[in-house]
């Protein structure tokens, strides 16, 4: 009987030892498999790097492009660089509620329309604009400080009448943008839509600013020197679109000029 019990115990011990050995082998295989998976994941895991290849641990987001570029229309509708206008005269394709004259300016190529203070300007012609078009112009300023220019507005009016000063907030205006030099921002108003964007207008006391506008149905994009400052669906597609520009009363002999107006379709 003792022999039988000893033999049974020996067999049980053998099974237990084998089971423990198998468990150890299984653990080793599992550990090896986990390490293999970790290595594969580490290789696939993208690293956050700066342009120099070092790991970016600052948490900042590097934006490589700020916006889509402005693309001007390819089919010319209207263009006026004032080159054929006599110096001292009001240009033939423009009208105003005040006064204006073509001038040449030292340090600035071409000819420019001198914008009187507290005055509004529109084209002296009716243009049939398509639903998709672009409008560009150059705005030249001369001032001791940019804030002396106060505010210059531009946008689209519902009529082509400059018998009176055109206020951006009037019901005749469908949309306008205001270069608020004294606040260093650009404000936009179109019916129920209004916005305000900080912009370094203080840098434009004595500079040429290129303004670009793109209209595509309801969508309006505005660029200042290729920097997009507005992109919104705020255009009334059924409203007439007559470009206008208005100035405020300048301070300390500040002056503003416009030239190189171009309107093009697609």
Same domain, 47 and 7: yes
Q: Provide the residue range defining the domain that includes 43.
A: 1-61
Select from 61, 86, 106 the last residue of a domain.
Answer: 61
Structural domain contains residue 84: yes
Same domain, 134 and 44: no
CATH code of 95's domain: 2.60.120.200
Work out whether the CA dihedral 184, 190, 195, 199 comes out positive or negative.
Answer: negative
pLDDT for 62: 59
DSSP secondary structure string for all residues of 35-102? HHHHHHHHHHSPP-B-TTSSB--S-----S--SPPP---SEEEEEE--TTSPTTSPPTTEEESS-EEE
Structural domain contains residue 68: no
Distance CA 28, CA 102 (A): 89
Structural domain contains residue 235: yes
Structural domain contains residue 69: no
How many domains is the chain partitioned into structurally?
Answer: 2
Same domain, 45 and 97: no
Same domain, 148 and 225: yes
pLDDT for 11: 42
Structural domain contains residue 234: yes
Residue 223 CA, distance from chain mean position: 6
CA nearest to 203, candidates 147, 256, 241, 162: 147
Select from 18, 37, 61 the last residue of a domain.
Answer: 61
Distance CA 139, CA 207 (A): 8
Structural domain contains residue 28: yes
Distance CA 111, CA 88 (A): 11
Same domain, 251 and 212: yes
Same domain, 88 and 56: no
Same domain, 169 and 229: yes
Select from 61, 90, 113 the last residue of a domain.
Answer: 61
> Under a CB-based contact definition with an 8 Å cutoff, are residues 158 and 129 in contact?
no
Same domain, 137 and 40: no
pLDDT for 198: 97
**Could you say which residues of the chain have pLDDT below 50?**
1-19, 21-22, 25, 29-30, 33-34, 36-55, 57
Same domain, 148 and 184: yes
Same domain, 52 and 134: no
Distance CA 57, CA 47 (A): 11
Same domain, 93 and 41: no
Same domain, 129 and 259: yes
Structural domain contains residue 70: no
Strand positions, DSSP E, 116-207: 120-123, 132-142, 151-157, 173-180, 185-190, 193-198
Structural domain contains residue 66: no
């Amino acid at each position: 009987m003792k022999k039988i019990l000893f033999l049974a115990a020996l067999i049980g011990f053998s099974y237990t030892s084998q089971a423990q050995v198998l468990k150890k082998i299984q653990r080793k295989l599992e550990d090896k498999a986990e390490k293999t998976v970790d290595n594969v994941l580490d290789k696939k895991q993208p690293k956050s790097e700066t342009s120099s290849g070092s790991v970016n641990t600052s948490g900042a987001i590097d934006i490589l492009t700020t916006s889509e570029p402005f693309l001007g229309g390819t089919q010319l509708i209207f263009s006026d660089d004032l080159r054929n206008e006599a110096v001292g005269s009001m240009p033939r394709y423009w009208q105003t509620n005040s006064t204006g004259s073509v001038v040449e300016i030292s340090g600035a190529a071409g000819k420019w329309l001198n914008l009187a203070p507290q005055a509004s300007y529109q084209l002296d012609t009716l243009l049939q604009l398509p639903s998709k078009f672009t409008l560009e112009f150059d705005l030249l300023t001369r001032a001791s400080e940019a804030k002396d220019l106060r505010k210059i507005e531009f946008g689209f009016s519902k009529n082509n009448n400059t018998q009176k000063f055109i206020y951006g907030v009037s019901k005749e205006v469908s949309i306008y943008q205001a270069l608020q030099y004294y606040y260093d921002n650009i404000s936009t108003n179109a019916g129920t839509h209004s916005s305000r964007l900080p912009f370094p207008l203080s840098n434009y006391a004595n500079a040429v600013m290129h303004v670009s506008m793109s209209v595509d149905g309801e969508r309006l994009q505005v660029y200042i020197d290729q920097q997009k400052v507005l992109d919104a669906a705020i255009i009334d597609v059924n409203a007439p679109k007559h470009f206008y520009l208005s100035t405020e009363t300048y301070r300390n002999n500040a002056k503003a000029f416009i030239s190189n107006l171009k309107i093009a379709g697609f």
